[in-house]
Structure 1
Amino acid sequence: MAKSLLEQLPGIVAAGKRQAAQILEQLDGPNKVSLQTRELVIPGKDTDTADLFSSTDGEVDHDKLNRLIYGDNLLAIAALLAGDKATPSLRNKVDLIYIDPPFDSKADYRTKAVLPGGTISQKPAVLEQFAYSDTWAEGTASYLAMMASRLVLMRELLSDVGSIYVHLGPNISHYVKMILDDIFGSAFFRSEIVWRRSNSHNKTTDQYGPIHDVILFYTKTEEFIFHPGKRPFSKGYIESRFKYQDDRGIYQPNYLTGPGTRQGDSGKPWHGYDPTRAGRHWAIPSKTIELLGRDVKGLTTQEILDACLQADLLVIPKKVGGQPMYRQYLTEGVPYQDIWCYQANTRGTLYKSDQGIDEDVKWLEQESEKLGYDTQKPEGLIRRMVETSSDEGSLVADFFIGSGTTAAVAEKMGRRWVVSDLGKPATMITRKRLIDQGAQPFLYQAIGDYQVEQARSTLGRKYRVGDLATVVLGIYGALPLPPEENVNGSLGRLPNTKTLVVADSPSRLTTVSTLRRAQGYRDSKLGGFDKVIVLGWNFAAGIGQEIADLNDPKLEVLVIPPDMLDRLKKKGHEKLARELRFTTLQYLEAAVPSRVIQGSEEHLTVRLTNYIMLSPDAINLATDKDRDALEKIINNDPLALIEYWAVDPDYDGEVFRSVWQDYRENTENDADPLRVITTARLDLPPKAEPRDICVRAVDVFGFESEVVIKGVEV
């Protein structure tokens, strides 16, 4: 008989702790995970005055930059814990973590790209698909296993005053709470917050309408950041209770006692009233003591009450023995409770509950906040947690970013942030959102040597690169060269042809040096070959341009499917050889029509001229109709496929510093929401020397490309 989830849970938590411990042991070792900076984003969306140097003086401290990370959050957290030369470890540095992990094994994770001529649906990238399938391989047990190891590592990131909020559906929250109790300790559970996310739900034929989520709030220690906020009193409550006024404002008389008897001063009679007779005790509100304006340390409860009475902060009933009250002023508001409700917005009118329920979490307050992301959360919800559990300057983290609400709110509230997601659409939306709101410069990073980590987990930590190269060659259909002619087992030949195949290492980028080496092997191995095909995992961003510059018809470069290692777990080599497609690289073409210096300014114009996309066969489209539509756009309007592009006017060959960006839906300089503008105009400090200008672009499916235009003269 299969074990229940309750029976499996101890083993799930133990396995998660073991996996986390293994990662922690490797933080300082040679196999530690690293982050690669893909872009230093200095928001300046398609404006004519975008100028990095006016805002940063050309110098940026990477240690203090916020970070948007693309990749598996387990590896992202490991990299943040490990740190590197440019950015130290974030262990014990994060004051607040908010996560909203998806929970739905049957969810449709496809994304839709609205393009000129129609909408194209894309299933998740294969890497994402296999991440989802691994999460649900054994149902809820797999989901909980995924969560356990990550929660252990998140606790390592938290500072001693840090908190974590875990946003869940009610169908899974009880299991995750047991995991959190084990990892954080049940003593550090603070609240189960019920978030009423809608007023009603039509699914009521066999159950009550599901209208709420659960947010579990834990802290790392007993001493934690907590700023208890308040909401205004509801209109109905004000009208029924607040009927009096003095020099301080409008008030109502309210109880000075709380339920339950107490020993000591708080249980003694005062002004003829004995609270214990009613089973109560004196409970003087902190706000009343604040209004008193004096230090009450060392005073008895009765002495404090005397002082409040003298300051006219209390109301004494005329009836002898009646219960004294305190003056509760309208400006005080109601402390936040553990039920939060969205505030309905119907036809522009905000409605508030008269039932005393928190209803000030507004649902997507402005039209500009709506990003078309299915699981988008309102900024008001995240703002509540950020203002309560962090200080200005605190570091806030989110490892399931969705539409980027946590980063957007943290940015607006003066907090530092680090966020990540496995989904390309999530990181693309977040980058655009932050640029749109004029965020401070931030890093866009990816997991370093991603396939290396995948290979180690799939083939074992001690696999040899040559073994993996042999696997890749076999799947492609090549036979290994004789050992004496083979370099690290990476060379093969297609049967019955004069074609050499080179399988590059997953531990490095495939660069122009790799291609030149392959050309040398083609000409020298076994008397020479007619052609060489290079199979690569990770490519330098400018590789497309470099291939074009080589202008070698006897050289072909193909992309190894990034999900190959995941699929090796599930299928044999022969099946993969029939199913996998090695595709050509995408590349970008751009030009610099003008570079002019006029007085104290330089005017630079950069133009996109063409975009050659990956074959539609390499993209996981939903239907043949989508494939046909994409083929038509590729042939007729390829630049319509650009989702985002940016310019670095002084590329140093290492860090791409984007000082100008444009993206679809940004209509400030262009009224067409379905296209980017194709010409960038930058105003820069004048520079007499030639410029190396780098242009990077991301298409609607998340594929990146780059072109460097070197030595551009004035």
Structure 2
Amino acid sequence: MSRSLLEQLPEIVARGRQVAERILESLESRHRVGLQSREWVLPSKDAREADWIRADLRQDALASVQGGLFGEVRPSFGDAAAPDRTPWRNRLIYGDNLLAMAALLAGDPPSGMPALRGGIDLIYIDPPFDSRADYRTRVSLPGVELEQRPTVLEQFAYCDTWSDGTASYLEMLVPRLILMRELLSKSGSICIHIGMQVSHYVKAVADEIFGKANFNTEIVWSYGTPSGGRAAGNKMVKAHEYLLWYAKNYGEHFHRKEYLPYSEKYIEDRFTEVDGHGRRYRTREREKGCFERQYLDESKGVPLSTVWTDVKQLYAHHYIKRKNEETGYDTQKPEALLERVINSACPENGLVADFFGGSGTTAAVAERLGRRWITSDLGKPACMIMRKRLIDRNARPFLYQAIGDYQLESAKNTLGRSFRIGDLAQILLSLFGARPLPEEDNPARNLGSVVAGGVRTLVYADSPNKLTGAATLKKALAQRDSLLGGWDRVVVLGWNFEPNIGESIDGLNDPALEVLVVPPDLLDRLKKKGSLERLRGHVRFSSLQYLKIGPVQRLRGADAQAETLRVALANYVLLSPEAINLDDANRARLQAVMNREPLALIEYWAVDPDYDGEVFRSVWQDYRGNLDGDGDPLRVTTEAVFSVPARPGPRRVCVRAVDVFGFEAEVSVEVGVEGGR
């Protein structure tokens, strides 16, 4: 007989503690999870009339990284001196929030990233709960709309979250809440936004994790006006959700009392008198026989209660005047809600975190209110929406980061904690049809051979915990030419790639080198029993995507202090459509767009005019939906024209593009003073 969820709760909490404890114990090890900085975003969306050089904020941000994004000395724009200490940088993190929190707790002293244990003032989370959702992403392209199934990262998380209904949901949530408690400052608090389906269970586990004595309050958010059109069967109309509020240390937590304006009726009923200057007031007995006047214009209003009825859903008719908030994200919350949460529980210049970032409302509001922020999400579409939203709001410069070693952590969860990288390499070689080389010639267990038609091919399976780049390709070529008497060709199988991998392949110009992509859903497919045998002969390793640009122009004008750069996109070749989670009909529609208009696949692109080969600093951006450049919501502007401070000698200009499926491509060129490529 199956046990009730109530009976399972103690075990769920115990297992969650074990997961969290393992992570906390690993923080001091050399194998701890890290963050890869993919982009240092200095928002300057394509708008010809706006010149980022004249924006003091961006200039200051560039000066702040003169000493290096992570503290090492490297040249940057201008001649400003390096700061005495590494400044705070807001962060948008792509990847599993459990791993993101582990990285934040550990910190990275060599890179200048401090450990944030006890460093966050407010955490707001809105963990999604809907086990029936299929999590498909709609991708709109000119003349066609596609439906994409989740990526391997998203599939992995969703499968685990909903494998056993609410119990699995709580299994996911418990270790994350424990790590969040570790991140909270002594005066910090957490606001858990939750629906009625699981609010009572979440309250029970949160009492256990944070301590019942640290329960602060429960807010009822009545977000809309009930209507018969939303009623379902014999149920009453759902019109509210909950905010569960816990302090790290009750009584020491930061709290600012908030007030609501008086209603007109309240004013008419109570502030009934007017003085000689026309000021409304009411007379109240302060103590027996003693009165004083309470003036309306000096009154703060009605103290905020635990039932909020004045903040409505974003897409309700009440929000017609706030269309600028809408991102198209299904579960997007109104900014007014987060504004109230942040103002109530986060001090000025405090740090706010949201580990289920979604559409980025928390980060956008924190930015507007002058708070520092960290946000993360597992979905690439969510991260693209957040990055665009923050750029559109002219946010302060922020880092876009990704989890290091995510595929490795996923593999451990799929294949067991005793998994070794060589085990997965052996699986890749088998699925590719390669025979492993003898152990004495193959100590890393990542080399195999294929002999067909008299052609001897060496197969190199790269590690899932690194980015395949130029160094790996050169190593593979050296082994092709020297190992066991040499081979006719070499194939490199990679999981994750440096954005400039296409440029690296072109630079090698070796027809006997082929680079292929491991299917993004492979780990998910390997989780099924006996899947390896069934997958043989059915796994497709796809070709890489790459970006091409036209000649870059660098022009000097009358102003000797500045110069103009002109950069144009020329072509984009998408990762083979077979590697994207589409059905046959959607894949055919995608192929038609690829053939007809390849640049329509670009979702976002940016330019770094002085790329150092390590950290991409984008000082110009355009993206689909930005109407300032060309007024076309489904296409990006294909040419960037902007000014930068003049500098002697050549510049290394780097262009990075992200397509509608989240794949990145990069190309960089060295440009003379009046040069092209």
Same fold (TM over 0.5): yes
Verify the 8 A CA contact 1:251 1:330 in the aligned structure 2.
no
Residue of structure 2 in register with 1:59 after alignment: 64
Counterpart selection for 1:78 from 81, 86, 102:
102
Of 379, 383, 389, which residue of structure 1 is paired with 2:345? 389
In the other structure, the counterpart of 1:368 is: 324
Residue 596 (structure 1) aligned with residue 555 (structure 2): yes
- Tell me the CA shift for residue 652 of structure 1: 0.4
CA-to-aligned-CA distance 1:80-130 (integer Å, 9 cap, x gap)? 000002211111010000000000111131121221112122122122012
1:422-433 mapped onto 2 (5 Å cutoff): 422-433=378-389
Pair 8,570 (structure 1): closer, same or farther in 2 beyond 3 Å: same
Distance between the aligned counterparts of 1:99 and 1:464, measured in 2? 34
Q: Give, in whole Å, the separation in 2 of the partners of 1:543 and 1:346.
A: 42
Give the letter for the 2:413 counterpart: S
Q: 2:466 aligns with which of 501, 508, 523?
A: 508
Task: Tell me the equivalent position of 2:73.
Answer: none
Cα distance change, pair 255–203 in 1 and its aligned pair in 2 (3 A): farther
* Residues 1:332 and 2:300 aligned together: yes
Match of 2:221 among 177, 195, 218: 195
Equivalent of residue 649 in structure 2, options 689, 695, 698: 689
Question: Does the 8 Å contact 2:448/2:458 carry over to 1?
Answer: yes
TM-score (normalised: structure 2): 0.90
Listed as ranges, the gaps of 5+ residues in structure 1 are 257-269, 272-305, 315-325, 351-362
1:349 shift after superposition? 9.2
**Secondary structure of the corresponding residue to residue 373 of structure 2:** strand
Q: Deviations over 1:515-573 (max 9, x none)?
A: 12212222233333222110112211100111122222211111123443343232431
Residue 545 (structure 1) aligns with: 503
The answer (yes or no) to whether the contact 1:364–1:377 under 8 Å persists in 2 is no
Q: 1:681 Cα shift?
A: 0.8
Q: 1:138 aligns with which of 148, 155, 164?
A: 164
Aligned to 1:521: 479
- The match for 1:620 is 581
Question: Which one-letter code corresponds to 1:602 in the other structure?
Answer: E
2:136 corresponds to 1:110? yes
Match of 1:30 in 2: 30
Query: Which residue of structure 1 aligns with residue 272 of structure 2?
Result: 243
> C-alpha distance in 2, partners of 1:671/1:607?
18
State how far apart, in whole Å, the 2-side matches of 1:342 and 1:107 are: 29
CA separation of 1:608 and 1:418: change in aligned 2, threshold 3 A? same
Using the alignment, how far apart are the partners of 2:220 and 2:587 within structure 1?
43
**The structure with more radius of gyration:** 1
Q: 1:217 aligns with which of 245, 251, 257?
A: 245
Matched with 1:173 is 199
Tell me which amino acid in the other structure corresponds to 2:281: Y
Distance of aligned partners of 1:345 and 1:493 in 2 relative to their CA distance in 1, 3 Å threshold: closer
1:586 aligns with 2:555: no
Aligned counterpart, 2:640: 680
Q: What is the alpha-carbon distance in structure 2 between the residues aligned to residue 120 and residue 347 of structure 1?
A: 23
* Partners of 1:43 and 1:439 within 8 A in 2: yes
Kept in 2: contact 1:364–1:379 (CA 8 A): no
| Native 8 Å contact 1:693 1:712 kept in 2 | no
1:209-608 matches, cutoff 5 A: 209-221=237-249, 222-246=251-275, 249-253=279-283, 271=288, 309=290, 312-313=291-292, 331-343=299-311, 363=319, 366-494=322-450, 496=452, 498-571=456-529, 572-598=531-557, 599-608=560-569
Partner of 1:265: none
What is the percentage of aligned positions where both structures have the same residue?
53
CA distance in 2, matches of 1:234, 1:123: 48
- For the aligned residue pairs, the C-alpha RMSD in angstroms reads 2.2
Match of 1:609 in 2: 570
CA distance in 2 between partners of 1:42 and 1:553 (Å): 39
Moved more, 560-569 or 505-514: 560-569
Amino acid at match of 1:243: T
Please state whether the residue corresponding to 1:592 is helix, strand or coil: coil
SS at match of 2:102: helix
- Secondary structure of 1:208's partner? coil
Q: CA deviation at 1:692?
A: 0.6
Partner SS state of residue 645, structure 1: strand
Partner of 1:50: 52
The Cα shift of 1:638 comes to 0.4
Q: 1:333 to 1:18 in 2, by over 3 A?
A: same
The residue type paired with residue 308 of structure 2 is: W
Q: Which moved more, 1:480-489 or 1:666-675?
A: 480-489
1:626 alignment partner AA:
N
**For the Cα contact (< 8 Å) 2:517–2:542, is it kept in 1?**
yes
- Structure 2 CA distance, aligned partners of 1:674 and 1:654? 31
Change (3 A) 1:128 1:57: closer
* Shift, 1:243, TM fit: 1.5
Match of 1:121 in 2: 147
Q: SS of 1:15's equivalent?
A: helix
CA distance in 1, matches of 2:539, 2:337: 43
Q: How many residues end up aligned between the 2 structures?
A: 639
Residue 615 of structure 2 aligns to a residue whose secondary structure is: coil
**Distance in 2 (alpha carbons) for counterparts of 1:534 and 1:666:** 38
Q: CA deviation at 1:642?
A: 0.3
How far apart in 2 are the matches of 1:217 and 1:253? 37
TM-fit CA distance, 1:495 = 5.2
TM-score with structure 1 setting the length? 0.86
* Deviations 1:450-489, CA, capped at 9 Å, x for gaps: 2222233344445433222112211222110122322411
- In 1, are the aligned partners of 2:314 and 2:334 still within 8 Å (CA)? no
Q: CA deviation at 1:611?
A: 0.3
Distance change (3 Å), C-alpha of 1:347 and 1:584: closer
Q: SS where residue 16 of structure 1 aligns?
A: helix
- Measured in 2, the distance between the counterparts of 1:364 and 1:68 equals 29
In structure 2, list runs of 5 or more residues that go unmatched: 70-85
Deviation (angstroms), 1:54: 3.2
Please state whether the residue corresponding to 2:551 is helix, strand or coil.
strand
Question: CA shift at 1:394, angstroms?
Answer: 0.1
CA change 1:210–1:57 in 2 (3 A) is: closer
